[in-house]
């Protein structure tokens, strides 16, 4: 039932009605959103899932966050955007760069950026080191380490989800870390007040780092709301 959507990024669509675009996190692909996207496709929406640069069928593309927003706008057009983690940071850039494209936005475990220059530089260096490590050990070993982080302690990863992540390449993921990591991101906190659209900021209630971030996002935008996802950690949409 999933049909390709033409554009610079690999994307697939299903259903008919108002469009919702689901944007995945680091090491995932558009397929990770399918269980949720299927639900909305069955209930009067056109669901679109997209592969970000360095991931899935867009694995050969290289782009920073601003260029990724360009590619996303050109691929999926006006819609409600739902972005998780990396995908949420892409959606934020999209909404600020192309306000006519983002009708509504849902952010799950997303970070508007590190304000402190030294902290941001340290994160950039850490992401670069992680990218180098990824290239050394390969995707399978890296995913084992990545998913063993406390951040994902409550995330069940079945064989299908792991196989999907393993479709990614070391080169693609390393490029994503170096070009789109939080350390490379110009902080957007001061620009959140420009977002004249409904924004729902979500965080898993067990994700103690991102609950206050989501609360602050909701308080910073003119039409913002916050909700905690009960019994979930960082990947709240996959856990609950």
Q: What is d(CA 19, CA 95) in angstroms, rounded to the nearest whole number?
A: 16
pLDDT at site 80 = 98
Q: pTM to 2 decimals?
A: 0.98
Which residue is listed with tokens 């390709």?
Answer: 4
Q: Please report which confidence band the pLDDT of residue 22 belongs to, taking 50, 70 and 90 as the band edges.
A: very high
Q: What is d(CA 138, CA 226) in angstroms, rounded to the nearest whole number?
A: 38
Q: What is d(CA 12, CA 33) in angstroms, rounded to the nearest whole number?
A: 11
Distances in whole angstroms, Cα of residue 63 to Cα of each of 52, 66, 122: 9, 8, 21
Which residue is listed with tokens 């941001």?
Answer: 120
Round the average pLDDT of the chain to a whole number and report it.
Answer: 97
Q: What is the separation, in whole angstroms, between the first and last Cα of the chain?
A: 24
- 124-143: pLDDT as tens digits: 999 999 999 999 999 999 99
Q: Note the residue count of the chain.
A: 240
Q: What is d(CA 189, CA 198) in angstroms, rounded to the nearest whole number?
A: 16
CB atoms within 10 A of CB 231: 12
Average pLDDT over residues 83-88: 98
pLDDT at site 28 = 98
Average pLDDT over residues 109-131: 97
Measure the CA angle with vertex 15, ends 29 and 101; round to 5°: 70
pLDDT at site 232 = 97
User: Do 147 and 156 touch, CB atoms closer than 8 A?
Assistant: no
Smallest Cα–Cα separation from 29: which of 124, 17, 2?
2
- 35-79: pLDDT as tens digits: 999 999 999 999 999 999 999 999 999 999 999 999 999 999 999
CB atoms within 10 A of CB 103: 16
Q: What is d(CA 90, CA 211) in angstroms, rounded to the nearest whole number?
A: 19
Q: Is 107 helix (H, G, I), strand (E, B) or coil?
A: strand
pLDDT at site 46 = 98
Distances in whole angstroms, Cα of residue 214 to Cα of each of 37, 54, 75, 100, 227: 22, 26, 27, 23, 8
Record the tokens describing residue 191, joined without a space: 């620009």
């Amino acid at each position: 039932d999933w049909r390709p959507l033409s554009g610079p990024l690999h994307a697939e669509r299903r259903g008919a009605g108002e469009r919702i675009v689901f944007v995945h996190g680091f090491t995932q692909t558009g397929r990770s959103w399918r269980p949720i996207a299927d639900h909305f496709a069955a209930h009067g929406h056109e669901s679109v899932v997209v592969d970000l640069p360095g991931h899935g069928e867009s694995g050969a593309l290289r782009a920073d966050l601003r260029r990724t927003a360009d590619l996303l706008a050109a691929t999926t057009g006006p819609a409600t955007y739902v972005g998780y983690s990396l995908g949420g940071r892409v959606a934020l850039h999209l909404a600020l760069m192309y306000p006519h494209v983002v009708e509504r936005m849902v952010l799950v475990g997303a970070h508007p950026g590190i304000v402190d220059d030294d902290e941001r530089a340290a994160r950039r260096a850490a992401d670069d080191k992680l990218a180098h490590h990824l290239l050394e050990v390969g995707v399978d070993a890296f995913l084992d380490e990545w998913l063993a982080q406390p951040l994902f302690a409550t995330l069940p990863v079945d064989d299908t989800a792991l196989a999907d992540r393993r479709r990614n390449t070391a080169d693609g993921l390393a490029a994503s870390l170096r070009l789109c990591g939080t350390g490379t991101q110009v902080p957007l906190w001061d620009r959140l007040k420009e977002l004249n659209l409904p924004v729902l900021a979500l965080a898993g209630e067990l994700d103690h780092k991102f609950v206050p971030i989501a609360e602050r996002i909701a308080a910073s935008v003119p039409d913002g709301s916050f909700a905690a996802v009960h019994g979930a950690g960082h990947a709240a949409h996959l856990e609950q």
